[in-house]
Amino acid sequence: MARRSDHSREEIKEMALIAAEKMILEKGLSGLSARKVAQAIGYTVGTLYLIFKNLDDLILHVNARTLDRLYQKMTADKPLPSDSQNALLQLAQTYISFADEESQRWKIVFEHHSEEEHTPNWYMERVTRMFTQVEKHLQALAPHKSAVEIKNAARAIWGGVHGICILAITGNLGVAGVESVDDLTQSLISNYLKGFTSN
Amino acid sequence: MARRSDHSREEIKEMALIAAEKMILEKGLSGLSARKVAQAIGYTVGTLYLIFKNLDDLILHVNARTLDRLYQKMTADKPLPSDSQNALLQLAQTYISFADEESQRWKIVFEHHSEEEHTPNWYMERVTRMFTQVEKHLQALAPHKSAVEIKNAARAIWGGVHGICILAITGNLGVAGVESVDDLTQSLISNYLKGFTSN
DNA sequence: ACCTGAACACCGTTCAAGT
DNA sequence: ACCTGAACACCGTTCAAGT
């Protein structure tokens, strides 16, 4: 049994999140339990509740890390796309492959509706950050549009990409394979942009 | 305690689903438990397992009923729209208000990923049925397109509408209110259609 | 034949008591 | 100060036994 001062609060937090991610990877959200996390890191459940408000809070932290990973992939250096439209398509593709490759991790971001009234700011910032990436390319593509129009277009497009992804993963789309998802997304974005930039 | 032959299998099933829906309406998926459903209908848990394979199966049946309700709203007689584009926008609006008004019920359709390898046919049919509605109007709008093109466009659009909805409801969109969701959807559909019908 | 009741192996969360 | 251990009030699922 671990004794006090074996690890700092931060160390325990980190260990717990890593253990939780491993369980989620293996068996999804239903494979996760506070007791199992505690056991995996060599502490009792009680200790976990000194660090996280509850299991929901722990999951929220896992989700924040998932958003971090995705953001990293979205901002990683890639062969420079020929134009902003291709940059957007590439962003979408990154999103789709992330959802595909890390589907267990990714699903939970939307499966888990925190009981809290108000999603904490440190979490919301991670969401906003992703939209900013999309807005950047949209602005370059349609310089005559207002900030509000760009903001809305980013949300429409990104919502669209996300919707196709999640319907595919939950089996509610009636298609199979990453390629189909890719095709649908390409179609969605390029047709949308044709309309968006023409007025 | 209920005794045998008090109710038929079908009656018990119906009672259980109604009780489950009530719990979901009040406290979401986490407010649902097999034991509570059993108690609510005056039978023991054991009986529930004679009728449903497990709790997942029960939830799948609840979801099928949710899809039925939505489908009914989507096919209900409305003031006839002036054209197919407006018909599509109206379908989307129906979807959005359903997601808004019955959000607890609706969320679960996508929260719940059945452990089964293969989603049963009776469930998939209810999903396909909705896409058929969208395809109908798309076909009228773009008669020169092939069946495959129509099918994909329907999935792209509907995925898009869905994505905006679910991001809004899970607080991952950074906007609030049904109106914003409506606006984003209108923008998504009309811009997409402009591109789709022009080639 | 239909249903129960009790068992099994788990949960999340709290908190007095130990070191 | 930090952590434990045991308690409380729950779970899903199974299945021998009762009527």
Identify the band that residue A193 occupies on the pLDDT scale cut at 50, 70 and 90. Answer: very high
- Is some CB atom of chain A closer than 8 A to the CB atom of B194? yes
Tell me whether residues A155 and B127 touch, CB distance under 8 A. Answer: no
C chain positions with any atom within 7 Å of a protein CB: 1-7, 10-16, 18-19
- HEC states along chain A? CCCCCCCCHHHHHHHHHHHHHHHHHHHCHHHCCHHHHHHHHCCCHHHHHHHCCCHHHHHHHHHHHHHHHHHHHHHCCCCCCCCHHHHHHHHHHHHHHHHHHCHHHHHHHHHCCCCCCCCCHHHHHHHHHHHHHHHHHHHHHCCCCCHHHHHHHHHHHHHHHHHHHHHHHCCCCCCCCHHHHHHHHHHHHHHHHHHHHCC
Assigned fold of B1-52 = Arc Repressor Mutant, subunit A (1.10.10)
| Closest by Cβ to B128, choosing from A28, A174, A194 | A174
Residue of B nearest to A120 (CA): B171
Binding-face residues of B in 75-134 toward A, CB within 8 A: 107, 109-111, 113, 119, 124, 127-128, 131
For chain A, percent of residues with pLDDT exceeding 70:
95
- Cβ contact (<8 Å) for A113 and B28? yes
Query: pTM for the whole thing?
Result: 0.92
pLDDT mean over A179-190: 91
Across all residues in chain A, what is the average pLDDT? 91
Mean model confidence pLDDT for chain B = 91
The Cα of B150 is separated from the nearest Cα of chain A by a number of Å equal to 11
Q: Which CATH number fits domain A64-198: 1.20.120.160, 3.50.50.60, 1.10.357.10, 3.40.140.80?
A: 1.10.357.10
- pLDDT less than 50: residues of chain B: 1
pLDDT confidence tier of residue A157, bands split at 50, 70 and 90: very high
Residue ranges, CATH 1.10.10.60, chain B: 1-52
Give the per-residue pLDDT at B136.
Answer: 95
Closest residue of chain B to A131, computed from CA coordinates: B173
Q: Where in chain B is the domain with CATH 1.10.357.10?
A: 64-198
Q: Quick one: pLDDT at residue A63?
A: 96
**pLDDT tens digits along A27-82:** 999 999 999 999 999 999 999 999 999 999 999 999 999 999 999 999 997 887 88
